[in-house]
Structure 1
Amino acid sequence: MSRKKNNVLIYFMVLIMVFFVLVMGCENQSSEINISNNEKSEDKHITVLIEAGSPAFTVAKNTAEEFKKRTGYEVKIETAPYIDVFDKLRSAVASGSGEYDVATIDILWFPSLVKGMISIDDIATDEIKNDLLPKTLEGGKYKEKLYGLPAWTDCKILFYRKDLFEDSKEKESFKKIYGYDLNPPKNWKEYRDIAKFFTRDTNNDGKVDIYGTSVFGENNGDSVCSWLDYSVQAGAKPVVVDEKGEVLINKEPYVEALQFISDILNKDKSAPPEALEMSSAETAEMFWNGKLAMMLAWGHFYVPSNDPQKSNVAGKVGTAPMIAGDAGVGSIPGPWYQIIPSSSKNQDIAKRYLLFLYEKNSLYMDEFGVAARKSVFEEYSKKTGYEHLKSISDSLSGAQSQNRPAVAEWTQIESEALVPAIQQVLIGNKSPKEALDWAAKQVKAMLQ
């Protein structure tokens, strides 16, 4: 073969090699683009922050796949213990990290966090607002703007042992002593009388086996909320501070309410002495074990009260609305809200998620025994096992039912002033007026 032909052959071979290199390069580039697009697709997600083990976690987990099918967005769930949710969210809001797109929060944290949330007035139609239970819409507002869409709400109601209240011998004995019929109490006097009546030693061993009721005496928010329940019944309005910032907690309704709690525990001895270390969970457990004739507790405890695997009094539990003081029926609501941090990078899809969960509101009822929508309450109140819902609705509709004050310092006020004051009275160190005068000074300093 001549040198000329060799050169031509080599030339064509080089061209072919260049062609394959270019083709392979294009294919590799195409693969890289596809991978990048896939990563982009997979990166479509929102991150929600929820209390570990809460009803909100169960609902979020069980609906995540459906939300992804509807929107293409994955729901990434981050959980934390109760108080850590507040700390994590506060840190994320302060840093503007955009770490969370949605969070489910206790109303107690609302005033402290609201400046780091976005308003959701644009998605809250009149239809949505009109279907929310009393006080839930109000609790999600700040300066007339709506920032939280409620997941559920709750309040204290009366739980009582039907087997005791409907017993003919108990009825006869009670009327002989107190002069009126034994029925679920509607006011302070009846509640106190019945609590004394049912506190007894049933086996004559010198020890009380069953108490008429209990009080929340543990040093946490339950004791404060319970005291505020009684305070609004006694006429407190507004709660703790007024619109001018005046601290009200050492006024007559608050003093009267704390005296009432103290009398049940220390004077009548109608509540167990260990109540000083009991909050709602411990009280409910004592009731389930048949050691209490009544309790004023969060409505959602009704479902386990009638579960034979959890309760010794299953099938024997009745409920009624919260009792009334001189001013009428009053209870402090306990709603939880879904909110969107202002640092979220996915605010539009986060709003769609809030509306999606609003649509699924009945799932909270299935999981927890309470919800936020009137329509859900009405639907489930017709079902067996949800007899407590009317008691909750009636209590929330009470003339004196009010939310806790929307002040940013609320968690500090509760833990550093109100809890210690209540404790001092219940252990007998101070009178209600002395303790609340001290607490009022602390609260004024915090607000200043």
Structure 2
Amino acid sequence: MSLNKRLNTISLAIVLILAAILSGCAGNNEQAPESSKSNESPQASKSGQFITVLVEGGSPAFKVATATAEEFKKQTGYEVKIESVPYIGVFDKLNAELKAKAGSYDVATIDILWFPALASGLESMDDLYTDEVNSDLFPNLIDGAIVDGKKLGMPVWTNSKTMQYRKDLFEDTKEMEAFKKEYGYELKPPTNWQEYRDVAKFFTRDTNNDGQIDLYGTGVLGKNNGDSVASWLDHSLQAGADRLVVGEDGKANVNTKPYVEALDFLVKVLREDKSAPEGALNMASDEIAELFWNGKMAMMLEWGHFFVPSNDPAKSKVAGKVGTAPMIGGAAGIGVVPGPWYQVIPASSKKKDIAKEYVKFLFERNEQFLEVIGVAARKSIFDKNGSKPEYAHLNSLTTTLSAKQTLNRPVLEHWNEIESEALIPAVQAALSGKSTPQEALDEAAKIINEIHGL
């Protein structure tokens, strides 16, 4: 064989080897054309591929993500890698990711409160909001996902304060007779501010005659966190607030009539009627619920999902004796600030298409959140399960979340600063008696305007 022929033979062999190598690389490449994978199963075609999901550790989002990961892998071939961190860690990590644009996360589950700060780095989900999806969600749940005209998240659950009360007390014949004799009307779960104050005063008592109050009518949330603000804003909406915290002109409106009346209402329940424990400034939802579950409270305005543990004998001494009703109303009717959570997709994700498939996948399995936390996002799930005794709170939530005065917290970039530096201190100053509601909220308005540079 001549030298030229030998060289040609060697060259051909090298070309064939390179072609085989390149072909093998293309077969493993995530971006390979679909035609090259047409005879492969989803599992084989997505071998070694995954999406990374960021959730709060131990939360409903973590539990559902864990429970459904294998099913998603079987359906799509994509492994779900779950990164779980403490509550504020979700915000911190996602915020850092959006700034770095590193593509570390493909999906995250976030509190509605974080939308203003994260919005610029999130992928639009407008295309996921079909007519069918829209018709199955409360309007305020859709509105909560919108920032600058774009829907940036898909809800996984929603929640709000509702009434929970001791049926064994409210339905006791002697209690009913005594209440009617004192107040002139029938004892029932209160529907407005006056009834609420009357019932709370009536049930606040020393039950064992030791000189100490051991049964309170209700509780007041005053702890140094967002619970106290949400509770006060609930009542502000009931008093007629139509724009929360800031008006159309961007200036603070928290020192106007509805807000002052709402804070005054809470102060009267605590300090004038003495129908709530004195340690209100150290009490948030968990502390109030513990008192209620231990039989130390006749009723509470609490997040709807607390109804489930209220009737769990392992957690509650009053299990089987708890009823549920919609949130009370003020002059403007029922109103609350909801507490929804959403799935979001970072715009930096390199797998946005499969991330959207994952979001759709969990929306279709939204009932699993009901099983884990006691609430969900879809109205159809509320309707389907509300007739079950263990989920009776869903009916109260539906009425409350559908009320005309129910409104999401405002989309403000500096919300965390406003809440911590202006609103929480104002609520605590009034509840402690250090300031009148008007004085406390005048100061809060001043601080908010300073934060906004006004």
> Taking structure 1 as the reference length, what is the TM-score of the superposition?
0.92
Shift of 1:243: 2.8
Match of 1:435 in 2: 440
Structure 1 residues 153-175: Cα deviation after superposition (integer angstroms, max 9, x where no partner): 00000000000000000011011
Structure 1 residue 204 and structure 2 residue 212: aligned? no
SS at match of 2:246: coil
| Mean CA deviation greater in 207-216 or 64-73 | 64-73
Question: 1: CA distance between counterparts of 2:22 and 2:405?
Answer: 65
Match of 2:450 in 1: 445
Shift of 1:123: 1.9
Structure 1 residue 296 and structure 2 residue 301: aligned? yes
Give yes or no for contact 1:155–1:332 (8 Å, CA) kept in 2: yes
Count of matched residue positions in the alignment of Structure 1 and Structure 2: 428
Give yes or no for contact 1:134–1:396 (8 Å, CA) kept in 2: no
Letter matched to residue 91 of structure 1: A
Match of 1:259 in 2: 264
Tell me, which stretches of 5 or more residues in structure 2 are unaligned?
1-5, 31-45
Question: 2: CA distance between counterparts of 1:384 and 1:330?
Answer: 25
Match of 2:236 in 1: 231
Give yes or no for contact 2:47–2:77 (8 Å, CA) kept in 1: no
Shift of 1:104: 0.4
The one of 74, 78, 97 aligned to 2:79: 74
Within 5 A, what are the aligned runs for 1:94-173? 94-173=99-178
Question: 2: CA distance between counterparts of 1:393 and 1:422?
Answer: 28
SS at match of 1:159: strand
Match of 1:5 in 2: none
Match of 2:33 in 1: none
Letter matched to residue 171 of structure 2: E
SS at match of 1:174: helix
Shift of 1:39: 9.2
Shift of 1:398: 1.1
Within 5 A, what are the aligned runs for 1:48-67? 48-67=53-72
SS at match of 1:122: helix
Question: 2: CA distance between counterparts of 1:231 and 1:363?
Answer: 33
Tell me, which stretches of 5 or more residues in structure 1 are unaligned?
1-14
Match of 2:331 in 1: 326
Question: 2: CA distance between counterparts of 1:243 and 1:99?
Answer: 38
Letter matched to residue 157 of structure 2: W
Question: 2: CA distance between counterparts of 1:44 and 1:425?
Answer: 55
Question: 1: CA distance between counterparts of 2:101 and 2:189?
Answer: 52
Shift of 1:126: 0.9
Give yes or no for contact 2:55–2:85 (8 Å, CA) kept in 1: yes
Shift of 1:383: 2.0
Give yes or no for contact 1:228–1:332 (8 Å, CA) kept in 2: yes
Structure 1 residue 222 and structure 2 residue 227: aligned? yes
Structure 1 residues 310-361: Cα deviation after superposition (integer angstroms, max 9, x where no partner): 1000010001000000111101111000011111111111111110010000
SS at match of 2:129: coil
Higher Cα Rg, which structure: 1
Shift of 1:244: 2.5
> Taking structure 2 as the reference length, what is the TM-score of the superposition?
0.91
Question: 1: CA distance between counterparts of 2:434 and 2:88?
Answer: 30
The one of 228, 247, 261 aligned to 1:242: 247
| Mean CA deviation greater in 311-320 or 271-280 | 271-280
Letter matched to residue 192 of structure 1: R
Shift of 1:26: 6.6
Give yes or no for contact 1:217–1:275 (8 Å, CA) kept in 2: yes
The one of 330, 353, 358 aligned to 1:353: 358
Question: 1: CA distance between counterparts of 2:189 and 2:439?
Answer: 34
Letter matched to residue 381 of structure 1: G
The one of 405, 409, 412 aligned to 1:407: 412
Structure 1 residues 200-238: Cα deviation after superposition (integer angstroms, max 9, x where no partner): 000000101100000111010000000000100001111
SS at match of 2:52: strand
Question: 2: CA distance between counterparts of 1:400 and 1:335?
Answer: 17
Letter matched to residue 246 of structure 1: K
Shift of 1:124: 1.4
Letter matched to residue 128 of structure 1: V
Match of 1:418 in 2: 423
Superposition RMSD in Å: 2.1
Structure 1 residues 270-303: Cα deviation after superposition (integer angstroms, max 9, x where no partner): 0011221010011111110010000000000011
Match of 1:11 in 2: none
Shift of 1:70: 1.2
SS at match of 1:158: strand
Question: 1: CA distance between counterparts of 2:17 and 2:149?
Answer: 58
The one of 381, 396, 417 aligned to 2:386: 381
Match of 1:12 in 2: none
Percent identity over paired residues:
58
Give yes or no for contact 1:216–1:223 (8 Å, CA) kept in 2: yes
Shift of 1:242: 2.1
Structure 1 residues 136-167: Cα deviation after superposition (integer angstroms, max 9, x where no partner): 00101112221111000000000000000000
Question: 1: CA distance between counterparts of 2:332 and 2:181?
Answer: 29
